[in-house]
Amino acid sequence: MTTPVELVWPTTLDDALRARTHRLVRAVTETGGAIGYLAPPDRAETDAWLDGVLADVRTGDAALALATAEDGSCQILGCALWRRRTAAASYRHSAELQQVMTHPAARGRGIGRLLVSALIDNVRAAGLELLILGVRGNNHGAIALYEDLGFREWGRLPSGISVGDERFDDVRMYLDLGRPADVVLHGSAALGAGASRRRT
């Protein structure tokens, strides 16, 4: 029988949860998971990453979801997060989906779908308009999941991801979450701030 899964949305993490999250990240990295590490990180690296994420969670610029086993073991089976794009004010209406991962021993149970679906709802509830993500071009299962949840590819940088002497496409995807009725969409029309006319 499959153990039920519960989603937890922490704003802080005690040492035990940090240790369990670290074990998840290491296990995923050790089996080749494309989550941004070229080698399994040490505890200091995952703690520093968690500190940055949780600082953004507490300001409302992120949300972290942990999928935990409801069997009393407190094992973390997966995690994912979104972070608001805060580099410039003109991007604050959008967020990026990051670090979507499932423990190798828990794959095939729909945990990735559960996490991403919950984060989509969370981003929408936060009032953001666009959710974007990047995925390695060889991760066809993840791409299919994202497409099934409504994401569409908006760009692809050939050989944009480097893993040692291997190169993979960097696939960029987006999900339109809707916007207030008074928002005016200009697309690529040559009007509004920063516009210039097409040269002939």
Each residue's pLDDT tens digit, 97-121: 999 999 999 999 999 999 999 999 9
Give domain status of residue 71, yes or no. Answer: yes
Nearest to residue 103, comparing CAs of 33, 53, 36?
A: 33
Residue 158's Cβ-count burial label (10 Å; 0-12, 13-18, 19+) is exposed
Q: Residue 73 has what pLDDT?
A: 67
Q: Residue 2 has what pLDDT?
A: 65
Give domain status of residue 191, yes or no. Answer: no
* Owning domain of residue 29: 5-176
Q: Residue 40 has what pLDDT?
A: 92
Q: Residue 112 has what pLDDT?
A: 95
Task: Give the orientation angle of helix 15-30 with respect to helix 43-58, to 10 degrees.
Answer: 120
Q: Residue 12 has what pLDDT?
A: 94
Q: What is the mean pLDDT of the chain?
A: 92
Give domain status of residue 87, yes or no. Answer: yes
Q: Residue 113 has what pLDDT?
A: 96
Strand pairing category for 130-136 and 94-102: parallel
Average confidence (pLDDT) per 10 residues, the chain, 200 residues:
83 93 95 88 96 96 93 83 90 95 93 97 96 96 96 97 92 96 87 79
Nearest to residue 77, comparing CAs of 8, 143, 137?
A: 8
Residue 152's Cβ-count burial label (10 Å; 0-12, 13-18, 19+) is exposed
Q: Residue 3 has what pLDDT?
A: 67
Give domain status of residue 199, yes or no. Answer: no
CATH number of 144's domain: 3.40.630.30
Give domain status of residue 189, yes or no. Answer: no
Given a contact cutoff of 8 angstroms between Cβ atoms, the answer to whether 63 and 57 are in contact is yes
Residue 104 to residues 43, 83, 138: CA-CA distances in angstroms? 19, 25, 18
Q: Residue 136 has what pLDDT?
A: 94
Distance CA 22, CA 192 (A): 47
Domain tally, the chain = 1
Give domain status of residue 129, yes or no. Answer: yes
Give domain status of residue 90, yes or no. Answer: yes
Give domain status of residue 41, yes or no. Answer: yes
